[in-house]
């Protein structure tokens, strides 16, 4: 697969913190800007570089919108216009839900940036009350980082699951999306070797999302410094994908891009001297790391 370059923009804020925005052109003429919603992140997902920073600041509505405005100005000549916005940069967007709902509204407003609501996607690690609020108040699309098919694994790699477990998260989505008929959710699934990539995981995943209008995005893990996880080999990702497809799911596969310049999902930011602690690895996964 041809590797396309991703472009990073660094913004310096008044308090001297730095946020990162990434512009991702693709071969089909789509150019996506990936915006940050916080400096750092409180969620401490174990596979995420940004998560090691802890939360340093919620971005204001203006600081979020400005990233898309600036990317549009800077890159429109080189790549054609920016076609999509994803809230998948630094931070858990729904932890900063007031500003993210306002910023996404400005992005789709006729007096604002005029993106179609289907071209603006807000991602979350699974904050259930905020998901409900977002689905009620925003016209934009939702993506959920799932990344595991059992509470045992998700409690470890995404500690937010200890508060809002898989059953609650998926039950809420099933119910809320049924009410909003036309909406579908994008499930993101970062493939971690020997942790969440077995064929049993693939089968469980098909059962978990049953009855939810969705697409699934399988993402190759980008190893970063200090990371304890390894990427699933590409052939195994394809095998995993085939099981999902056989059960009728719509699946996309994103093999790694941008890992050469620390600008891929879960790789933004600079943890610095202070880092959140890594959690204890469950015994049965010790050998996988």
Q: Under the rule (CB under 6 A), what is the footprint of ligand SF4?
A: 41, 43-45, 48, 50-51, 91-92, 125, 145, 266
Smallest separation (angstroms) from ligand SF4 to the CB of 18 = 15
DSSP 3-state assignment of 175? helix
DSSP category for residue 150: S
**Beta carbon of residue 222, minimum distance to ligand SF4 (angstroms, whole number):** 12
Four-CA torsion 129, 132, 134, 139, nearest 10 degrees: 180
Compare residues 249 and 264 and give the one whose CB is closer to ligand SF4.
264
Whichever of 52 and 79 has its CB closer to ligand SF4, that residue is: 52
Q: Which is nearer to ligand SF4, 25 or 91 (CB)?
A: 91
Q: Which residue is nearest to ligand SF4 (CB)?
A: 51
By beta-carbon proximity to ligand SF4, the closer residue of 25 and 51 is 51
Tokens of 254: 């994103």
Smallest distance from ligand SF4 to CB 53, Å: 9
By annotation, the residues acting in catalysis are 20, 265
Q: What share of the chain is helix, strand, coil (3-state, %, to 5)?
A: 40, 20, 40
Edge-to-edge strands of the sheet including 7-12?
7-12, 18-25, 31-34, 84-87, 120-124, 141-145, 185-191, 214-220, 250-254
Instruction: Write down the least CB distance from residue 29 to ligand SF4, Å.
Output: 28
């Amino acid at each position: 697969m041809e590797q396309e370059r991703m472009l990073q923009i660094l913004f310096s804020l008044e308090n001297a913190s730095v946020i990162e925005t990434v512009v991702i052109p693709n071969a089909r003429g789509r150019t996506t800007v990936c915006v940050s919603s916080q400096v750092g992140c409180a969620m401490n997902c174990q596979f995420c570089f940004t998560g090691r920073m802890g939360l340093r600041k919620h971005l204001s509505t203006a600081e979020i919108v400005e990233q898309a405005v600036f990317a549009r100005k800077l890159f429109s000549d080189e790549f054609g216009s920016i076609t999509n916005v994803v809230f998948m940069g630094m931070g858990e967007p729904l932890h900063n839900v007031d500003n993210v709902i306002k910023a996404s509204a400005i992005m789709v407003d006729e007096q604002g940036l005029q993106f179609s609501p289907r071209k603006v996607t807000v991602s979350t690690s699974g904050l259930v009350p905020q998901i409900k609020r977002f689905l009620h108040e925003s016209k934009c699309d939702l993506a959920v980082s799932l990344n595991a098919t059992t509470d045992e694994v998700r409690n470890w790699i995404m500690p937010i699951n200890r508060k809002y477990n898989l059953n609650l998260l998926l039950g809420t989505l099933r119910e809320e999306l049924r009410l909003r008929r036309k909406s579908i959710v994008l499930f993101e699934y970062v493939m971690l070797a020997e942790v969440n990539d077995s064929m049993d995981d693939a089968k469980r995943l098909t059962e978990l999302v049953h009855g939810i209008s969705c697409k699934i995005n399988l993402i190759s893990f980008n190893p970063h410094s200090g990371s304890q996880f390894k990427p699933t080999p590409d052939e195994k990702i394809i095998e995993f994908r085939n099981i999902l497809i056989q059960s009728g799911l719509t699946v996309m596969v994103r093999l790694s891009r941008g890992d050469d310049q620390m600008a891929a999902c879960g790789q933004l930011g600079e943890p610095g001297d202070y880092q959140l602690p890594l959690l204890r690895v469950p015994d049965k996964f010790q050998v996988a790391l």
